[in-house]
Amino acid sequence: MIPFSPPRIDEKNIEAVIEVLKSGWITTGPKTQLFEQKIKSYTGAQEVLCLNSATAGLELVLRWFGVEKGDEVIVPAYTYAATANVVIHCGATPVFVDSAPNHYNLDIEQLESLITDKTKVIIPVDVGGFPCDYDKIFEIVTSEKQVKKFKPQTPEQEKLGRVLILSDAAHSLGAWYKGKRTGILADMTVFSFHAVKNLTTAEGGAICINLPSSFDPSEVYKHLRLLSLHGQSKDALAKLTGNWEYDILLPGYKYNMTDIQATIGLVELERYDSDMLPRRKQIFSLYDLFLQQNSSIKTPLYKDEFRETSYHLYQIQIPGITEEKRNEYIKKIMDKGVSVNVHFKPLPMMSFYKTQGYQIQHYPNAYRLYTQEISLPVYYTLTDEQVSMVSKTLNQVIP
């Protein structure tokens, strides 16, 4: 069976983890701090905070910005549950936006009509690693009309003076937009280092801070870090090297990254641009080559005149088919020994969100894209022969 997306674990990862284990320091410490600095250098972000998940990062930013009951946060209908669940956790209301007609990212043309005086944040999602058009999103939220509409309720909201752009870049580490890497395309950007991501720390995530000059990035970092460690005035490393006594300054969370996780990330980041991304790009090119003769399959958009994907998901479309037919194809493909997946089932189709009154018929592009989508295996150790085998299987099953 060809798996869908196993993590890359080799001797370099193993040796690095053993070194940390032998050091006696396995929780948040010097390796985590180093990983933050390396991501900061890689992305060009003002500051970076590493955490135990991207979900934690999204929620911490919403909490920092003061999102609460009565507020609205615009979220794509086509995304993983974490993007909207964190809004629910804050007591706010997710306002779903449909996908663009021709790709999975949100339809920017619909954004302006969805912004109200209750809107505090927009969370664009770089689905599959393909960046959203951030300049257009900023054009909307910084327009005189939208700035006047914005109703700040916290010091952070007052200081920003407009809707916050929080990028869910869980898929897009290493992607490019107009000569810039993801991480500095929005006010705040959150990456995921989950096991199936291009760069993994087993579980993990990071917040990249890229706020206007009215903010002090180091102070924002300190506050987010405080939130991530129960509001404790000293972390474990600081208590070890100085006075043990600490204070609880606010009721925070337990969202910190460990040095075990960070050391895996350090190995992966060092070889990310030179090794990981080139191999994933080769796999995309091979799929393009092997599937181009099949007129029933539409290969994905992953590069245009101003952006390039991180090559996270190879998402094919089979135009004109039903959800039932797509599922039949998936079963036949998997019966032949090839694991495939679907990214994503739109959130208005999920039981919880249906009970909240959301209806998928209001998001026709998201539903159409979902019913016709199949994600193919893409991972570092996938061989050319296996890519060929996956492609032959698809060509046999999809006439």
In this prediction, residue 252 carries a pLDDT of 96
In a domain, 68, yes or no: yes
Nearest Cα neighbor of 125 from 166, 71, 94, 162 is 166
Identify the domain boundary among 269, 302, 336: 269
- pTM of the prediction? 0.97
Give me 162's structure tokens.
């407009």
Q: Which helix (H) or strand (E) holds 206?
A: strand 205-209
- Residues in the chain predicted with pLDDT less than 50, given as ranges, are none
The tally of domains found in the chain comes to: 2
Are 245 and 321 found together in one domain?
A: no
Indicate the length of the chain as a whole number.
Answer: 399
Are 94 and 226 found together in one domain?
A: yes
Amino acid identity, residue 361?
Q
In a domain, 39, yes or no: yes
Going by their DSSP bridges, the two strands 205-209 and 164-168 should be labelled as unpaired
Are 142 and 232 found together in one domain?
A: yes
Quote the domain boundaries for residue 61: 11-269
Locus of tokens 């043990």: 244
Q: How far apart are CA 294 and CA 369, in angstroms?
A: 19
Q: How far apart are CA 186 and CA 166, in angstroms?
A: 6
Are 258 and 277 found together in one domain?
A: no
Are 141 and 190 found together in one domain?
A: yes
Identify the domain boundary among 246, 269, 292: 269
Residue 127: helix, strand or coil by DSSP? helix
Are 145 and 278 found together in one domain?
A: no
A 10 A CB-CB count for 169 gives 31
Q: Return the half-sphere exposure (C-beta side, CA atoms, 13 A cut-off) of residue 252.
A: 26
Identify the domain boundary among 269, 288, 323: 269
Q: How far apart are CA 88 and CA 345, in angstroms?
A: 19
With 0-12 CB in 10 A as exposed, 13-18 as middle and 19+ as buried, what is 58?
Answer: buried
